[in-house]
A and B are shown apart, each in its own frame.
Chain A
Amino acid sequence: METKYISKNGLNEWFSQIVKSGKRVYAPVEERGKVEFKKVQALSEVAEEYIQTTQSIKSAVFPRAEVLFSYEKENGQVKVEDFNPDTVKETVLWKVHPCDAAGFKPLTAIFNWDYTDKLYNAHLEKTTLVTFSCAKADKSCFCTSVNGGPGNTSGSDVLLTMLPDGGAIVEILTPKGEALVQLAASAFEDDKGEDKSKYLADVPLAFDLEEVRARLATAFDSPVWKEQSERCLGCGACAFVCPTCACFDIQEDAHGSKGKRIRCWDSCGFSLFTLHTSGHNPRAVQSQRWRQRILHKFSYMPDRLSVFGCTGCGRCSRACPVDMNILEHITSITKK
């Protein structure tokens, strides 16, 4: 871990060297009235004024749909072409927020829990995160209540905190981050000893995470789930914008004697998610699916994986068509 300073011009130089190195660079871009991560070539394309991208950056390591393998049957022989990790390109995720970077910890825990997921790990290995501290937040943000913060370094390879002069404090956090810095070593200067906390957004503490966890341990049969979920429409918007939701479905794209097996995003909010072949559905109503969403993130994940499944990014609250505000719901659980 080393701290340096980079000037505005230095940032431009570093960015162009990253692009020149042949790595793919994804950064927030404003388009169609939304800010989303997109492949970029120049720093000028990167969005400036926004709080949060609508979607998280998880698709960089866990794409919406990805081919696990393809197959072809010919003369009684089946030829299988497996996913090839060598086809994964070196990728830099630029201007990720600390709550998105923090999402990589639970994602990695899920994809390495009882099975080492070849695809996820191949993407992760070739991904470098250049995170930017948050100078602004909105009322959906609550990173500080879930072990994070606007200047948190968890999951990042490099953390930049922007300074009023257009330059930035650079925290180089991992060997991957160091390698990325080395692409333009001369663009970096000695640390000026600035205190980064002066430049961070104010995200007030909303609840005590351990208290939430303790309350949830006995809340399975609580009426709170029905009360909170009445307006929930049962769509997958919350899960799909979430930086840590990792549920997937496996589907077949079959065409006669050949085809592909595809992994695609799924959501516990869908009524079909737990529907058995028999017709029985253990989560038959939306209140049970909402309970699953909250318990998974705030109870089951810390129990099994030692990490919470929420980074406080607030995306689910912003994306929800009926304002299922997660911060409000979690806070109300601590007040019951």
Chain B
Amino acid sequence: MDKLREKAAALLADGTVTMVLGYEEGTNKPRPLFCHTAEQASKLVYSSQCINNLAVYLTKKEIMGAGKVAIIATIPTLRSILQLSVENQLNEDNLVVITVTDKDEVKQFANFAEIEAYIADFQLKLDGKEQEIITKLEGMSREERFKFWMEEMSHCFKCYACRAACPLCYCTKCIVEENRPQWINPWAAPLANMEWQINRAMHMAGRCTGCGACGDACPVGIPIHLLTRKMMEDLAPEFGFTPGQPSKNGNALSTWKADDKENFIR
């Protein structure tokens, strides 16, 4: 922890960066911290309890400003950074990416290519409970699955914490905020909630890196990350990408090829 604090303090003190995004102790677990001065870096912590995906802040102009910033990234955060980079949302020259290795060493990446090589060693894994739900869903008929999600959706009150916590939900105007025409009913009701979540899953198809931030953020406990997660796994073989790694061939729902293997699209 000391090495991490020293590193962050040095980056701030010598003017390399104007801000370091990291974690500090929170009420029950670590929470995001924004260090603007070397002194603030003494509050930094890092552990397996750091679950917020800090990449979500990288596309917020009001937070990031125009200067160079450093981010202390967990493995899921690194995956999100790469996907954001593929989507042309990050300026490599304005970002210092740091992680803490398994051996507790502070590692600064020279560039995004180095991040890619680094995360290739980490397999994307679901915890047992989540895998259990996915297996259960896979065993269900279409009607049963719809019933399962409708029941879950009945709890959604459309606070959009899932969207807010997602590093890849960076649109300045979300589809649910479009009202001419109103694509999605904006009030909370099971079907209107389902419309929203299906839309989100579609927009995430082939882009989601499986960090689980949406599910962690949901205050009413809907395992919403499993929808995008399952989508990712189903799409990966079809579109030739590896779950959790950036999709360099474009995003599943926003690319088109003249030689597509499907007739209907040609």
Please list the residues of chain A having a beta carbon within 8 angstroms of any beta carbon in chain B: 32-34, 36, 54-55, 64-65, 139-140, 230-231, 233-237, 239-241, 249, 251-253, 262, 264-265, 267, 270, 272, 285-287, 317, 319, 321-323, 325, 328
Contact = CB atoms under 8 A, between A and B. Distances in A.
Interface string B35-63: 00000000000000000100011000011
Given A235-B161, A267-B159, A317-B27, A272 B177 contact: yes
B159 A235 contact: yes
Interface stretch (B112-120, B186-194, B238-246, B257-265): B186-194
Given A237-B159, A321-B216, A64 B188 contact: yes
Contact of B62 (A139, A285, A317, A328): A285
A59 B86 CA distance: 43
A240 B161 CA distance: 11
A255 to B, nearest CB: 11
B221 interface: yes
Contact of A236 (B27, B160, B165, B185): B160
Nearest to B163: A235
A240 to B, nearest CB: 5
Interface residues of B, number: 35
B217 interface: yes
Contacts of A287: 62
A235 B62 CA distance: 16
Contact of B31 (A265, A286, A319, A322): A322
A167 B251 CA distance: 62
A34 B159 contact: no
A239 B29 CA distance: 22
Nearest to A324: B31
Given A233-B164, A233-B165, A322-B32, A249 B27 contact: no
A323 B31 contact: yes
Contact of B34 (A64, A140, A230, A233): A230
B219 interface: yes
B161 A65 contact: no
Nearest to A253: B185
